Amino acid sequence: MLIEIRHVTTYTYSTPARYSIQSLRLTPPSYDGQEVVNWTITAPGFDKRIEYRDGLGNLVHLTALSAAHDGMTLEAHGVVETEDRCGIVRGLNEMAPRRVFLRESPKTAPDKAIRALAHTVSNGRVPADSLDCLHAIMRVVQNAISYEIGSTHEHTTAAEALASGKGVCQDHAHLFISVARVIGIPARYVNGYFLSGTLAPSEAHHAWAEAWVDGLGWVGFDPANGMCPTERYVRLACGFDAASASPIRGTQKGGLHETLDVRVEVDQQGGQQQQ
């Protein structure tokens, strides 16, 4: 499947910023089942960018703008060809040992309720069949958090989302990761894009999780939709949680009262656009 993506992020400030620096994880990787056909990024200072891979293997572009500015627009656009690999992730440039994805992070730290949820799935131990266990975690998480746009925010933790019983794809992914790690299964957060078609709930800019399965490697799980990623998913970057996998992270000097506008369009070439 050929999927065209346009991801536009616009920052505006009430007073000019004197300097800005942005760390961009906005380039999808090519690996088994996902091939980047073409991809461009337009951003202030991108012609003088620094390019590197972070400790998790994500391609990062570092850009800076030293002239006074009252806002900026960053745009990523391109076409990616995908195949359904039943959620199995192979061929990535893996740089970190999988055991690091057992580490707790602020957004995935388990509380008593999360530990109890993990116990209901596998008595808190790594089961003989981790794949079946992970599918069970996906179902439990989907049932525990009702999909409701606007019910949480970027700083919401897995524990808070579980307590409220409401959230979005970020919250489903955080809770899945937290439960898997409690049981002893390495799990990581994935940012990307989703061509929803008739599935619901959905977001064009989407998030899910990947967990380690012996004999298979990393396998994707999307608790928000109750399925493993298919050819409708485009993987962008991974991290310990949403913060470390964020497509754009930056800071500026000056530039008070920042406002943010994000527009993501995902379109199957010859098909219907998702926003």
- Report pLDDT for 129: 87
CA 139 – CA 226 distance, rounded (Å): 6
Tokens 């579980």 sit on residue: 162
CA 200 – CA 274 distance, rounded (Å): 12
Residues 160 and 228 in one domain: yes
Structural domain span for residue 44: 2-82+247-274
- Report pLDDT for 203: 65
Residues 18 and 112 in one domain: no
Give the C-alpha distances (Å, rounded to integers) separating 213 from 102, 117, 186, 220, 245.
Answer: 13, 20, 9, 10, 21
- Report pLDDT for 199: 52
Mean pLDDT of successive 10-residue stretches along the chain, which has 275 residues: 96 93 97 98 95 96 94 97 98 94 96 96 82 96 95 95 97 98 96 80 84 96 97 97 95 90 91 50
- Report pLDDT for 269: 87
Strand order in the sheet with 217-221: 88-89, 217-221, 205-213, 187-194, 233-239
Residues 170 and 267 in one domain: no
Residue 121: give its domain's CATH number.
3.10.620.30
In single-letter form, the type of residue at position 71 comes to: G
